[in-house]
Amino acid sequence: MKNQKSLVLAVLCLFSVGVFAQKSSKKDEVVTIKTNLGTIRVILFDETPKHKANFLKLTKDKFYDDLLFHRVIDDFMIQGGDPNSRNAKPDDMLGKGDNGYKIPAEFSPKLFHQKGALAAARDNNPAKESSGCQFYIVQGRKWSKNDLNKQAARAARKLTDSQRKVYEEIGGTPHLDGSYTVFGQVIDGMEVIDKIGAVEKDERDRPEKDVSMKMSVKKMKKKKITKKYGWQYEA
């Protein structure tokens, strides 16, 4: 399992956006998401400064503590951040809660929906503005070359060779690219995404047993992040 985890992270570092982080700072923030099924750690991208600043502020303000992953679809994604999910009863309808504002979309061709991508949920709006608080983490699945060709044709969007390699070897949800803002990436705890994805759900995709979260932020030297989690920054 450890070797497999190392291989997955190595491929992600080579072919994803870890090399695009800002050069000016020697430190970066690591966000820890503790759940009752395990711990996930993510880094946030400087290419999406509004989303990064917002997520860090909400985390530091303890906004996310005791909220639920209220929408879970196996081989697709796990979604959380609805403030109405705190102390929600089993039959409560979740997913419509917000914190009163939206964030302008921040798209980059470098940022895509590979497995472990952290992205902003949103309602149906023409500007594709993001929810101010709801987010999801991609689980996805592996895609064949033929399926990727069909997907790219439907979306009128060209995938790079490196993106194709990630979707084929690691997995993700390519049909979401260009529609939802990707603003971070899991660097530790990828197996926890799979655990959450596999739980029993009701007809509304809410886990039968609550999956709650608590978040914290730690500023670390980038060299230490690379050594501890294998995430590569641009030199």
Q: Which of 173, 131, 181 is nearest to 148 (CA)?
A: 173
Q: What is the pLDDT of residue 116?
A: 99
DSSP state of 232: P
Q: What is the pLDDT of residue 11?
A: 43
User: Per-residue pLDDT for the chain (235 aa), expressed as one digit of tens each?
Assistant: 544 455 445 444 444 444 444 446 899 999 999 999 999 999 999 999 999 999 999 999 999 999 999 999 999 999 999 999 999 999 999 999 999 999 999 999 999 999 999 999 999 999 999 999 999 999 999 999 999 998 888 876 788 999 999 999 999 999 999 999 999 999 999 999 999 999 999 999 999 999 999 999 999 999 999 999 999 987 6
DSSP annotation string for 74-131: TTTEEEE--GGGTT--TT---S----S-EE-----TT---BTTEEEE---S-TT-PEE
The arrangement of secondary structure in 27-87+95-224, i.e. its CATH architecture, is: Beta Barrel (2.40)
pTM of the predicted protein model? 0.89
Q: What is the pLDDT of residue 30?
A: 99
Q: What is the pLDDT of residue 24?
A: 60
Phi and psi at residue 209, in whole multiples of 5°?
Answer: -110, 125
Contact 161, 202 (CB under 8 A): no
Query: What tokens does 91 get?
Result: 């039959």
Domain segments of the chain as ranges: 27-87+95-224
